[in-house]
């Protein structure tokens, strides 16, 4: 039997034939990075390769790193192994990595979603023998409503708050979710203020030539009388922080796939929960796998044991590999780190 | 159902009581008498009986959703709520069925005598015509497990605003035996004399926990101090020669406690007593565990009466000679109570709760330390010049419980939380040392912050030894301090002990696993407090 083209090692997903890692969680000489979220692009690797669209944010977050870029669809051959990056639809610049060697094709999909959010290049199904997938929302109870519906309810909530003289405070992780929300907001209702962590990412993205609605960064000097009626966009870590005390009277909303369930929605102690996710729901997860025509699937983070059992029953050979990717949970934590960095730099209180 | 679903969503979306009450008032205004009465019933735990087995509902839901039954069951385990799981997995509705709340409740009740096939047809029809929110409520009604994040107190406040009656009057009207089937809104809320129903209890006055020490409650002499008994709060009513026993859950439990039946003759008509249904024999209380063997049983057999006897530890009187005396002071009520009880040949059916006097709070605190030896949970403090209030109100009654027992234990299994914390590992099994081995002895939840849960969740993912369904065994690494209220012998547990109300007090990051407690330590506690 041929050895697996990609192996799960204590450092990350490893391609021995090319001696490179995909989204490693321990420092390695050469890392291929699917996207800029903290659980996929970590500090400490000697060399990085990511799409030209994902690169600016990764560089912003990791500082002075050795970074090469690649275009979607471009093929890079390393020791005879062909690598190419293809749109994953997860966040701006996010990629699935296709690996081909001696006629065998693997795809490491990182994080992905099928719904076109207008920011990330839409998910492109890649035919392959083995597909590596996450299963953050790999249960049939996760069934996203169309984003238009979610944005309509966010805007209706904002409108009502404005009529009540309240500030609207909504959280989504600062890379990806925040910009997606931003583009769904009805700017005729009021102004959009941003937490420093969100605004820093906005700037990186605007500098790439992507247009986002106008935002105002909140600083120590911002007059708090300006907030009522308007909306504040912040990372989840800002919830319950001292920083957010100045926004009263306020109505708080959380945008996350976890908000599908009543329990997490109530536990947040937020006023509203909006089920909006940058990961696939159950039906799209199954649809994506079917489109790859893969005969073997490796399930990483999420409801991996349940989902792999389901695939096996359907006749798709599936197994679980433990990784240190953590789906939307990690993306929440990532914002927490950014928040700390930001606070230390004095960007926001 | 649209109005009710809308109400439910609004109640669910806020934690602010003012907003909840406003939503309820608006609902009461909008709907007719029948729907209003049903909403009042549902919000005071009066729900229709289950007419379809949940196992059938699960099968049908899995079938309609096109997923295998095991996958549905696993999803249910994650969501933690059957009604919600079904509502989420079903495909979107294909039509619109717009009926009142009362219509759907009647529809559900009418399923009772149908065949399974007929039931299925009716249930599937409902599912296909209701939105996700409406379906969730329909499922809640049909599974008979209706609970909302709104207390009965808020419902009564809203009803008071809506009807223009005092909250206390509303509270009294809503006590007792009614269901939306045997009364009407007019009879229940608008009729002249609510005391027509001779079984009707008074709303219980519930105490808050003392915040820290009682020092700032004034002099100990202003307070009636009693032991806090570990039984079931109960109200005993004798009117027109009949006896009614109510538990705090507003359940009529007269039949479950035949020991009390002589009270119908013993107590004068027009007497209502407040006390504790307490397991009791040979002049002293028994462990609450013993009472538990009796609760939930359909028939009270002779054997049970012998193995789990009860008395009524009585501490207050609310009605005397047919008169509502709740406005009299605690002192006066106590006097009436003492005179009434001491004159009766009660034969230990009723025992008067003893009052304790202390010159200082320090002296009280010292005696409180002995509570467990009396099988009591601590002290009750009742202001001597206070009336008997309604519901949970701060100020006049306080519970001053003993500090919990604690033990340091090692986490060995972790399970994802259900419902409220579906995506985090929040339920742990803990072990103590037995020589070289770790012996599991309890599960415990809560007590950690969200950040700690996240930290542990990410740690569990990386340190899983084995998976057993939703449970993972993990490398023994972390020590937690577990608090509990009591300890009993148990043959069902490997460790030989069972804890009462175990919960996580804190994460002892400072302790290596070698410093966790031992089974020997637990057995020592059992010897003293068991
Ligand atoms: Zn991601
Ligand atoms: Zn991820």
pLDDT of residue B189: 86
Question: A337 falls in which pLDDT band (50, 70, 90)?
Answer: very low
Which of chain A's residues have a Cβ under 8 Å away from the Cβ of B88?
A: 140-143, 260-261
Buried b (16+ CB within 10 A) or exposed e, A192-204: bbbbbbbbbbbeb
Question: A243 falls in which pLDDT band (50, 70, 90)?
Answer: confident
A248 touches B at CB < 8 Å = no
Which of chain B's residues have a Cβ under 8 Å away from the Cβ of A144?
A: none
B452 touches A at CB < 8 Å = no
pLDDT of residue B238: 94
ipTM: 0.90
- Considering chain B, what percentage of its residues have pLDDT values greater than 90? 53
Taking residues A153-173, report their average pLDDT: 95
CA distance A130 to chain B (A): 24
Point out the residue among B68, B89, B423 whose CB comes nearest to the CB of A141. Answer: B89
CA distance A238 to A332: 10
pLDDT at A348 over 80: no
Going from the Cα of A166 to the center of ligand 2, the distance in angstroms, rounded, reads 34
* Token pair recorded at residue A24: 């490693």
Which of chain B's residues have a Cβ under 8 Å away from the Cβ of A265?
A: 12
With vertex at residue A183, the alpha carbon angle to CA A182 and CA A185, rounded to the nearest 5 degrees, is: 70
CA distance A109 to A56: 20
CB contact under 8 A, B462 and A324: yes
pLDDT at B493 over 80: no
Contacts of A244 (CB under 8 A, 6+ apart): A169, A234, A238, A250
Upper half-sphere CA count for residue B316 (Cβ side, 13 Å): 30
- In the block, tokens 């009117």 appear at B239
- Considering chain B, what percentage of its residues have pLDDT values greater than 70? 96
More confident residue, B296 or B128: B128
Mean pLDDT of chain A: 90
* Token pair recorded at residue A285: 């997860």
- Structure confidence by residue, pLDDT tens digits, B183-210: 889 888 888 765 567 888 899 999 999 9
Closest ligand to residue A89's CA: 1
Q: What is the pTM of this model?
A: 0.73
The phi, psi pair for B494, rounded to 5°, reads -55, -40
pLDDT at A126 over 90: yes
* Token pair recorded at residue B518: 């031992």
Give the CA dihedral B293, B297, B299, B301, nearest 10 degrees.
-10
Angle between helices A196-207 and A177-184 (to 10 degrees): 80
pLDDT of residue B487: 87
Taking residues B333-343, report their average pLDDT: 93
pLDDT of residue B92: 92
Question: A100 falls in which pLDDT band (50, 70, 90)?
Answer: very high
Question: B421 falls in which pLDDT band (50, 70, 90)?
Answer: low
Contacts of A318 (CB under 8 A, 6+ apart): A296, A297, A298, A299, A307, A308, A309, A311, A312
DSSP label at residue A89 = S
B78 touches A at CB < 8 Å = yes
* Token pair recorded at residue A337: 């780190």
pLDDT at B29 over 50: yes
* Token pair recorded at residue B384: 């001597």
CA distance A142 to A144: 6
Report the residue count for chain B: 530
Peptide bond into B371 cis (omega under 30): no
DSSP label at residue B385 = T
Q: Which residues surround ligand 2, an ion (CB under 5 A)?
A: A 39, 111, 325
CB contact under 8 A, A322 and B80: no
Buried b (16+ CB within 10 A) or exposed e, B317-331: bbbbeeeebbebebe
Mean pLDDT of chain B: 89
CA distance B394 to B401: 16
Question: A342 falls in which pLDDT band (50, 70, 90)?
Answer: very low
Peptide bond into B178 cis (omega under 30): no
pLDDT of residue B418: 63
pLDDT at A333 over 60: no
pLDDT at A346 over 50: no
Upper half-sphere CA count for residue B458 (Cβ side, 13 Å): 16
* Token pair recorded at residue B476: 């023994």
Dihedral sign of CA atoms A297, A298, A304, A308 in order = positive
Question: B451 falls in which pLDDT band (50, 70, 90)?
Answer: confident
- DSSP H helices, B423-497, are 450-462
The answer to whether the beta carbons of residues A16 and A81 sit under 8 Å apart is: no
Helix (H) or strand (E) holding A334: helix A327-344
* Token pair recorded at residue B34: 């029948």
- In the block, tokens 């009021």 appear at A190
Beta carbon pairs, A and B, within 8 Å = 81
CA distance B246 to B253: 6
Which of chain A's residues have a Cβ under 8 Å away from the Cβ of B71?
A: 139-140, 306, 310
More confident residue, A349 or A295: A295
Question: B422 falls in which pLDDT band (50, 70, 90)?
Answer: low
- Structure confidence by residue, pLDDT tens digits, A171-185: 998 999 999 999 999
CA distance B316 to B271: 11
With vertex at residue A269, the alpha carbon angle to CA B84 and CA A346, rounded to the nearest 5 degrees, is: 135
Going from the Cα of A35 to the center of ligand 1, the distance in angstroms, rounded, reads 7
- In the block, tokens 């808020």 appear at B154
Q: Looking at chain A, which runs of residues are DSSP E strands?
A: 7-9, 12-15, 20-22, 30-32, 47-51, 67-70, 75-78, 81-87, 95-101, 104-108, 130-135, 167-171, 192-194, 216-217, 231-234, 250-255, 272-274, 296-302, 317-320
pLDDT at A340 over 60: no
CA distance B43 to chain A (A): 19
CA distance A276 to A153: 11
Report the residue count for chain A: 349
CA distance B517 to B281: 34
- Structure confidence by residue, pLDDT tens digits, B30-62: 999 999 999 999 988 888 888 999 999 999 999
CB contact under 8 A, A263 and B68: no
Question: A201 falls in which pLDDT band (50, 70, 90)?
Answer: very high
By CA distance, what is A274's nearest residue in B?
B13
* Token pair recorded at residue A194: 């941003």
B80 touches A at CB < 8 Å = yes
SS3 B170: helix
Taking residues A68-82, report their average pLDDT: 97
- DSSP H helices, B208-292, are 263-266, 288-292
pLDDT of residue A7: 96
- Structure confidence by residue, pLDDT tens digits, B253-287: 888 899 999 999 999 999 999 999 999 988 888 88
Q: What is the DSSP string of B324-382?
A: E-TTS-HHHHHHHHHHHHHTS--TTSEEEPPEE--SSHHHHHHHHTTGGGGTEEEEEEE
B6 touches A at CB < 8 Å = no
CB contact under 8 A, B78 and A141: yes
Q: Please provide the distance, in angstroms rounded to a whole number, between the alpha carbons at the two ends of chain A.
A: 58
pLDDT of residue B287: 81
By CA distance, what is B64's nearest residue in A?
A140
- Structure confidence by residue, pLDDT tens digits, B147-181: 766 777 889 999 999 999 888 788 888 877 788 88
Give the CA dihedral B370, B373, B375, B379, nearest 10 degrees.
-10
CB contact under 8 A, B78 and A303: yes
DSSP label at residue B500 = E
pLDDT of residue A1: 66
CB contact under 8 A, A322 and B461: yes
The answer to whether the beta carbons of residues B497 and B518 sit under 8 Å apart is: no
pLDDT of residue A336: 34
CA distance B414 to B277: 37
CB contact under 8 A, B420 and A324: no
Question: A268 falls in which pLDDT band (50, 70, 90)?
Answer: low
B61: exposed, middle or buried (C-beta count within 10 Å: 0-12, 13-18, 19+)?
A: buried
CA distance B287 to B278: 9
Strands A296-302 and A317-320: parallel
Taking residues A296-305, report their average pLDDT: 90
pLDDT of residue B70: 96
Which of chain B's residues have a Cβ under 8 Å away from the Cβ of A260?
A: 88
CA distance A50 to A95: 8
CB contact under 8 A, A140 and B79: no
CA distance A290 to A281: 14
The answer to whether the beta carbons of residues A89 and A120 sit under 8 Å apart is: yes
- Structure confidence by residue, pLDDT tens digits, B65-123: 999 999 999 999 888 889 999 999 999 999 999 999 999 999 999 999 999 999 999 99
Contacts of A39 (CB under 8 A, 6+ apart): A23, A25, A324, A325, A326, A330, A331, A334
Q: What is the largest CA-CA distance in chain B?
A: 73
CB contact under 8 A, A306 and B71: yes
SS3 B61: helix
Taking residues A303-331, report their average pLDDT: 83
Classify the phi-psi angles of B430: left when phi > 0, otherwise alpha if psi is within -120 to 50, otherwise beta. beta
């Amino acid at each position: 039997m041929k050895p697996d083209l990609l192996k799960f090692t204590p450092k990350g997903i490893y391609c021995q034939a090319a001696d490179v890692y995909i989204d490693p969680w321990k420092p390695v000489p050469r890392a291929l990075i699917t996207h800029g979220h903290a659980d996929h692009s970590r500090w400490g690797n000697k060399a990085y390769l990511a799409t030209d669209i994902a690169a600016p944010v990764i560089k912003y977050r990791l500082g002075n790193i050795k970074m090469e870029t690649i275009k979607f669809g471009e093929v890079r051959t390393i020791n005879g192994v062909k690598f190419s990056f293809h749109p994953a639809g997860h966040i701006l610049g996010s990629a699935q990595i296709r690996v081909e060697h001696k006629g065998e094709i693997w795809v490491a999909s990182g994080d992905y979603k099928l719904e076109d959010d207008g920011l990330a290049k839409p998910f492109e199904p890649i035919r392959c023998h083995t597909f590596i997938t996450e299963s953050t929302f790999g249960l049939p109870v996760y069934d996203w409503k169309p984003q238009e519906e979610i944005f309509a309810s966010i805007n209706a909530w904002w409108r009502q708050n404005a009529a009540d003289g309240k500030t609207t405070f909504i959280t989504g992780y600062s890379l990806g979710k925040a910009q997606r929300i931003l583009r769904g907001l009805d700017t005729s209702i009021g102004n959009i203020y941003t937490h420093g962590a969100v605004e820093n990412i906005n700037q990186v993205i605007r500098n790439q030539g992507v247009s986002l609605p106008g935002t105002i960064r909140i600083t120590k000097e911002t007059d708090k009388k300006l907030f009522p009626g308007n909306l504040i966009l912040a990372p989840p870590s800002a919830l319950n922080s001292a920083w957010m005390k100045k926004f009263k009277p306020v109505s708080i909303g959380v945008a996350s796939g976890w908000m599908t369930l009543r329990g997490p929605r109530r536990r947040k102690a937020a006023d509203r929960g909006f089920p909006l996710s940058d990961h696939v729901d159950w039906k799209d997860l199954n649809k994506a796998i079917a489109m790859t025509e893969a005969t073997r699937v490796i399930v990483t983070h999420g409801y991996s044991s349940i989902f792999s059992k389901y695939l096996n029953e359907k006749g798709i050979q599936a197994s679980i590999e433990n990784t240190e990717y953590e789906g939307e949970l990690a993306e929440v934590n990532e914002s927490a780190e950014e928040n700390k960095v930001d606070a230390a730099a004095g960007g926001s209180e | 159902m649209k109005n009710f679903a809308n109400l439910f969503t609004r109640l669910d979306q806020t934690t602010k009581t003012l907003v909840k009450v406003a939503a309820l008032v608006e609902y009461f205004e909008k709907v007719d008498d029948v729907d209003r009465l049903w909403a009042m019933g549902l919000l005071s735990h009066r729900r229709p009986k289950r007419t379809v087995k949940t196992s059938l509902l699960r099968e049908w839901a899995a079938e309609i959703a096109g997923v295998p039954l095991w996958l549905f069951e696993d999803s249910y385990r994650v969501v933690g709520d059957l009604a919600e799981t079904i509502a989420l997995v079903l495909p979107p509705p294909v039509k619109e069925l717009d009926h009142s709340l009362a219509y759907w409740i009647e529809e559900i009740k009418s399923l009772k005598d149908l065949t399974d096939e007929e039931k299925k047809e009716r249930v599937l029809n409902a599912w296909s015509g209701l939105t996700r929110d409406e379906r969730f409520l329909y499922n809640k009604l049909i599974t008979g497990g209706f609970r909302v994040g709104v207390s009965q107190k808020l419902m009564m406040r809203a009803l008071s605003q809506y009807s223009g009656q005092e909250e206390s009057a509303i509270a009294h009207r809503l006590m007792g035996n009614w269901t939306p089937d045997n009364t009407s809104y007019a009879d229940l809320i608008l009729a002249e004399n609510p005391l027509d129903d001779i079984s009707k209890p008074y709303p219980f006055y519930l105490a808050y926990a003392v915040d820290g020490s009682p020092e700032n409650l004034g002099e100990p002499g202003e307070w009636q101090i009693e032991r806090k008994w570990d039984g079931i709060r109960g109200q005993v009513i004798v009117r027109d020669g009949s006896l009614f026993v109510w538990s705090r859950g507003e359940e009529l439990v007269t039949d479950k406690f035949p020991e009390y039946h002589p009270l119908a003759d013993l107590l004068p008509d027009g007497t209502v007593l407040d006390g504790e249904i307490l397991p009791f024999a040979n002049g002293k209380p028994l462990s609450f565990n013993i009472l538990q063997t009796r609760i939930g049983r359909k028939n009270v057999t002779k054997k049970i009466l012998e193995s789990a006897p009860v008395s009524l530890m009585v501490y207050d009187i609310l009605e005397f000679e047919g008169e509502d005396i709740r406005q009299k002071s605690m002192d006066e009520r106590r006097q009436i109570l003492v005179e009434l009880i001491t004159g009766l040949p009660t034969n230990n059916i009723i025992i008067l709760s003893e009052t304790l006097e202390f010159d200082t709070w320090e002296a009280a605190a010292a005696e409180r330390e002995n509570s467990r030896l009396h099988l009591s949970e601590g002290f009750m403090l009742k202001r001597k010049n206070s009336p008997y209030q309604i519901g949970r109100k701060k100020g006049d009654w306080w519970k001053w419980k003993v500090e919990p027992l604690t033990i340091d234990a090692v986490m060995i299994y972790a399970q994802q939380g259900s419902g409220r914390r579906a995506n985090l590992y929040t339920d742990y099994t803990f072990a103590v040392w037995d020589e070289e081995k770790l012996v599991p002895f309890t599960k415990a939840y809560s007590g950690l912050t969200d950040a700690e849960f996240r930290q542990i969740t990410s740690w569990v993912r990386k340190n899983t030894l084995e998976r057993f369904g939703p449970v993972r065994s993990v490398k023994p690494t972390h020590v937690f301090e577990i608090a509990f209220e009591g300890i009993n012998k148990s043959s069902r547990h490997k460790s030989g002990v069972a804890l009462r109300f175990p919960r996580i007090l804190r994460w002892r990051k400072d302790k290596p696993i070698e410093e966790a407690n031992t089974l020997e330590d637990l057995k020592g506690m059992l010897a003293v407090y068991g």
